[in-house]
Structure 1
Amino acid sequence: MALRAWRRCQLPVLLALCALPGWLQETLQITPLCTSERHYKHLGRCCNKCEPGKYMSAKCTTTSESVCLPCGPDEYLDTWNEEEKCLLHKVCDTGKALVAVEPGNRTAPRRCACTAGYHWSEDCHCCRRNAECGPGFGAQHPVQLNKDTVCKPCLAGYFSNTSSSTEKCKPWTNCTILGETEAHHGTNKSDVVCSSSLSSTEPPNEPQTYLPSLIILFLFISVALVAAIIFGVYYRKKGKALTANLWHWVNEACGRLSGNKEN
């Protein structure tokens, strides 16, 4: 009797164990579909999501599949989705130094970046002008788009004498290649100064020798011009009177000479 009672108690357990494989099989067949990125669970069934570039205008029912419609102009969706509307593309405002580096379409968003000479700053969420490298420093190349300037000190043999966000350090001039000699050594802020052999043989005081002569000549020309101007003005005003007096004096002199001859 005890054996029969034990068997009766174990019968429901055995029936449950027999039904378990079927339940597990059914569960394993449905679950992977609903966990996929391309499906969603609705009304006790797994339904298809909308593909990128489309939005879901109506969810699935027990007898029909999801209804998907394409995104409109200037809209996009870049994933499998069950969204009720598409997303708007970003506006790359040129007035804020933004340009479109990727135009975007229905399946990909438009991407903006700061125009050349600017970089994106998280502090203000805006584009800021790139920093300038001062004399003695040069911009690291290649200059990265949408990144601030990276300044590095000029190495020996190179220099930078300007402030720029794009120029790199320039090499010193090679005087030997030019057939000249080095007059002044270069620094990280200045170039080498070359001197030709011809100019080195010239006397250093030669410009000073000609300087007094040039000054005297300039003063002489200036005095002559001033005298000519004064004479011209004076003659214009007084010339007629002087001419009349001169002729009167000549006539008197001639008359006196004639009188003396008669006597």
Structure 2
Amino acid sequence: MSDAPLPGQPLPGVREGRVTERAALVLAPNPSPMTLDGTNTWILAEPGATEAVVVDPGPEDEGHLRRVIDAVEGAGQRVAQVLLTHGHPDHAEGAARFAELTRAPVRALDPRLRLGDEGLGEGDVVTAGGLELRVVATPGHTGDSLSFQLPADAAVLTGDTVLGRGTTVVAHPDGRLGDYLDSLRRLRSLTVDDGVSTVLPGHGPVLRDAQGALDHYLVHRARRLAQVETAVENGYRTAAEIVAHVYADVDRSVWPAAELSVRAQLDYLREHGLI
């Protein structure tokens, strides 16, 4: 979910094709208030390599899946591995069909999403044709959310943990705010310790100022949490009441998703003895 600008405001577009030396984007045809321009399917490969890694095949849309394959094969490559940032259908639903078309294994944190012998977890290093990806556990949006650091391009693929526009939902009860805040701090540390400068998100345009984006996310979450705490103090009781009060600046079409974030915020406040 995105706290997107209201309808009628100009939005930055998503540019398909090569966006870094090793990352190319194919946009799925599933735009909505929840998915922004659509799901970003990423093709990652070393220049001149014959193997590629595909991250988040997206929805089970035959045309989209074949466009991804055409992009890989057009670069003289084959799909060696498929990685999932998390299990939401707009990212993972097409993985089984994509694996059938490419004969590539699907790797994910959640065993239920895997097709093949290998999973994914914190600290793993994925390699293919000289490409190196480091797996970073970033739970919070969902319990199974992963990010993938691409050191050679000073980039990180964030799935729904950081979007290219607006902010994401903490999908209660699977998503937990405390975990999410820790994940944002973890990603920000990569901008300091490892020089990560670019965010390749699961939705929306590429972010060329990773540190600025993460600082914005952390400030935004602190502000929303304070607003929810104040709303409770002022007598708002249900999550729906709090959404109508706190998220009045957000398109109503995403209020059901905002309610999930509010439930996660209420849990966080209770766990820390703040309400």
* TM-score, with structure 2 as normaliser: 0.17
* TM-score, with structure 1 as normaliser: 0.18
Bigger Rg over Cα? 1
By relative contact order (CA 8 Å, sep 6+), the higher-ranking structure is 2
